[in-house]
Amino acid sequence: MKVDAARGLAGRLPDGEAFLAAMAGPFARAVRTHPRRGQPSGWGDLRAVAWNPQGRFHADDLDPGDFLDYHTGTVHPQDAASQVPAVLLAAQPGETIVDVCAAPGSKSTQIGLDLGDDGLLICCDASAPRRRVLAEVCARQGITCAVITPMGIEALVERHPGSADGVLVDAPCSGHEPRSDKQVARMSDRQVALLASSAPLVRPGGRLVYSTCTPHVAENEEVIERFLAAHPRWSVDPRTLSGCDTDLAGLGAIRLWPQRQGTEPFFACRLLHAGDEPAVTPVGYLPPGDGLLGRWLPGSELHCWRRGTAVFMGSAAAAACPIPSEARGTLLGHARGDHLDPEAWAAQALIERGATSIAVERVDAAGLWAGDAVPGLPIGSFIRTGDGAPLGLMARDGRLALPSRMRRAGLRY
């Protein structure tokens, strides 16, 4: 009979029995708010996530997809524990960051919002369906600095070693399902290999964050200890976060527990590469610029370019990045000569960045999202709510320009 490895871990905890009971879930549900799209509305009691100023816990019986805020990108559903790695990584505008296991995109977009429109976020994932989801999540959140690539880590390291200021390895793990010690050990070996293969991407002086959503020591503290033993130029950068526990080995890493924080079990550790050298950023060539963006965002530092009739906007670094990609920047729309109607999510991205827009009441906003016509709104105008949530562009029929698959009736607001 398989013995659950979690029982052995419980013996090391003062509240081990509570830990085992809490591992069955459910875990506290949370969203992450967008820093430029207003505040959530209509959710009732939202509790702050102590370790992330943008995090909010919400009631278990609420579905974020039922709210206008989700469709405007004001909130993004994300477990509160999984918000820890990007907080530890602390990406800064102008940096180059690699997300090694990027899909489905919650952590990538959190990093992308930290970088803003000045920097480069390289999002790696081997699965084509997962990359499609990742591209959609980035578009919904208005991320302009991302390059989504199928390139494997080994190839990326071979061509561009030392190219990143920071790397996130949110590793595949055993999760919180019952696992035997043997299964956990096999997963640990994979994680050590992934961490070792990703580390050469980091410049001397840069940092790497390793994280998992499993409680097992062999996949967390022991992975870090094994990596450090084989890589003497790396060390732990000790960190504490409000509301979080420290790790079980005194490394200076972060732990979250279902019986204490109410989240899924989680581990995250920030590592530093010795030295101090600038990142060897991949050098590319900016595609020929296009002036269409200037009509909405005059003076914007975003680069705007065409590929056929498709028009894109992105950070200069994302536009110039030579790494093969399936998506980069944000699809702005499709041009017909000098005319362009922005895509729905691109319209939201323009509004949040200051494009001239008209405010409507939230009741009208919910109606527009359902496909209702609202009289008196000029054709071609950008529409937002009074508290800053971006809606999109008014079409000729007095309705919001939305694909039918995006329309939702009865949204809470």
Query: Each residue of 278-320: pLDDT tens digit?
Result: 999 888 999 999 999 999 999 999 999 999 999 999 999 999 9
Span 114-123, mean pLDDT? 97
How high is the pLDDT of residue 3?
Answer: 65
Name residues whose C-beta falls within 8 Å of residue 312's C-beta, 6 or more positions apart in sequence: 304, 305, 306, 319, 328, 329, 330, 331, 332
Among residues 123, 138, 173, 213, the one annotated as catalytic is: 213
Q: What residue type is assigned to position 413 of the chain?
A: Y
> How far is 95 from 412, CA to CA, in rounded Å?
38
Task: Provide, rounded to the nearest whole percent, the portion of the chain with pLDDT above 70.
Answer: 99
More confident residue, 69 or 336: 69
What pLDDT sits at residue 337? 84
Highest mean pLDDT among 47-56, 332-341, 396-405: 47-56
pLDDT > 70? residue 111: yes
What dihedral angle (degrees, nearest 10) is formed by the CA atoms of 377, 383, 384, 390?
160
- Answer yes or no: 124 catalytic: no
User: Considering only CA atoms, which of 166, 120, 123 is closest in space to residue 327?
Assistant: 123
**Which CA distances in Å does 379 have to 341, 369, 376, 403, 405?**
11, 16, 9, 17, 22
Q: pLDDT tens, 159-179?
A: 999 999 999 999 999 999 899
Instruction: Give me the helix-helix angle, 106-115 and 128-140, nearest 10°.
Output: 40
pLDDT of residue 1: 37
Tell whether the model's pLDDT for residue 269 goes beyond 80. yes
pLDDT, average across residues 368-380: 94
Strands 47-48 and 75-77: unpaired
Q: Residue 167 in contact with residue 209, Cβ under 8 Å?
A: yes
Tell me which amino acid residue 146 is. A
- The confidence score (pLDDT) of residue 120 equals 98
Beta partners for residue 208, in sequence order: 167, 271
Measured CA to CA, the distance from residue 191 to residue 174 in angstroms comes to 11
pLDDT at 44: 95
pLDDT tens by residue, 23-61: 999 999 999 999 999 999 999 999 999 999 999 999 999
154: exposed, middle or buried (Cβ count in 10 Å: 0-12, 13-18, 19+) = exposed
Tell me the CA end-to-end span of the chain in Å, nearest whole number: 51
pLDDT of residue 4: 87
Kindly tell me if the per-residue pLDDT of 338 is higher than 90.
Answer: no
Once rounded to an integer, what is the mean pLDDT over residues 117-128? 96
* Pair 49, 81: CB distance under 8 Å: no
Reference 49, options 242, 185, 189; nearest CA is: 242
Residue 262 to residue 27: CA distance in whole angstroms: 6
**Mean pLDDT confidence for 323-351:** 94
